[in-house]
Amino acid sequence: MSIHSVKQYQAEVEKIMHYGGTKKETAIRTAFQNLLNEYAKQKGLLLIPEITIRTAKGKNVTPDGTLKDSLRQDWGYWESKDEADDINEEIRKKFAKDYPKDNILFEDSKTAVLFQSGFEKLRADMQDEEALHRIINTFINYERPEVQNFRKAIELFKQDVPKVTETLRGIIEAQAKTNKKFTAKRDEFHELCKEAINPLITVDDINEMMIQHILTADIFNTIFDEPHFHRENNIAKELEKVLDTFFTGSIRKLALGTIQHYYQAMNAAAAGIADHHEKQSF
């Protein structure tokens, strides 16, 4: 991204101030949001306004903008203030509310301040084109450690899941031949699903439901923080009873041991999502 975009932003702010006669945050912050998105494009990122996030201390905060990638991971945060405000005091207030310090850019159309890894990284006069260009590039290109871990985990997870899925199918097939308690519970569950979901559902479909449930239950429970779901939802409750006939102890450990660290990365990434719609999309 070039200095040309910065110059366009500066000209746009001057125009807004001239036509509107105001320097209020609400009047001019859209211009900076557009500038950030111009820079974000080079990394395949998008700045989304007003998304509520959950902090490490469990508080919900809503930055003016959150920098996200296509996997819905947070890369950074933006806060816009009025030029009339004391930006240092406003920063202090936000951090007192537990706003993240890993990669957050504050600006008031006069001064931009970037915090990374808990410390002030850069400060720029927003009339200085080179300085503003540098601070935005530094903000856009910072990749939080949990984002790095998540992206790596996703790529490896894609490679390993087919292997784990085949292992689970093999375990289920073996149980069907030797475990009468399993087949009895599976058949009961099959009848329930034909009644409640689709009369044409097959035993193979039931097997796939079990596999999907095994692979996703922990993630869903962590993201939505609803550990009681499986005891309250009839289908999930009965499916759990089927799995309890064989998928315990050493069998569970053997089947999921190779991908457990991926779950940890995904759960860590999801822990900061506070908005329910965002959780569903994730």
More confident residue, 221 or 174: 174
Q: What is the pTM of this model?
A: 0.60
Q: CA 229, CA 150: separation in Å to the nearest integer?
A: 26
Rounded to the nearest angstrom, the gap between the alpha carbon of residue 4 and the centroid of all alpha carbons in its chain is 32
CA 234 to chain centre: 29
pLDDT digits (tens, 9 = 90+) for 127-137: 899 999 999 99
pLDDT for 30: 84
Rounded CA-CA distance 254/249 in Å is 9
- Beta strands of the chain (E only): which ranges? 46-49, 53-54, 60-61, 65-68, 74-80, 103-107, 111-116, 119-125
Q: Which of 6-15, 164-173, 181-190 has the lowest mean pLDDT?
A: 6-15
pLDDT at site 259: 72
H/E run at residue 269: helix 260-270
So what CATH class is 3-143? alpha beta
Q: Give bridge partners of residue 74 from the DSSP assignment.
A: 68
Question: Would you state the pLDDT for residue 265?
Answer: 73
The share of the chain scoring above pLDDT 70, in percent, equals 89
CATH 3.90.1570: which residues of the chain?
A: 3-143
Q: Is the pLDDT of residue 167 over 90?
A: no
Three-state SS at 96:
helix
Among 4-18, 89-103, 226-240, the least confident range? 226-240
The most distant pair of C-alpha atoms in the chain lies apart, rounded to whole Å, by 81
Mean pLDDT of all residues belonging to the chain = 84
Contact indicator for 52, 275 with CB cutoff of 8 Å? yes
Compute the average pLDDT of residues 33-39. 91
271 falls in which pLDDT band (50, 70, 90)? low
Is residue 73 scored above 90 in pLDDT?
Answer: no
Per-residue pLDDT band at 67 (split at 50, 70, 90): very high
Taking 70 as the threshold, does the pLDDT of residue 15 lie above it? yes
pLDDT attached to residue 25: 52
β-bridge mates for residue 48, sequence order: 66
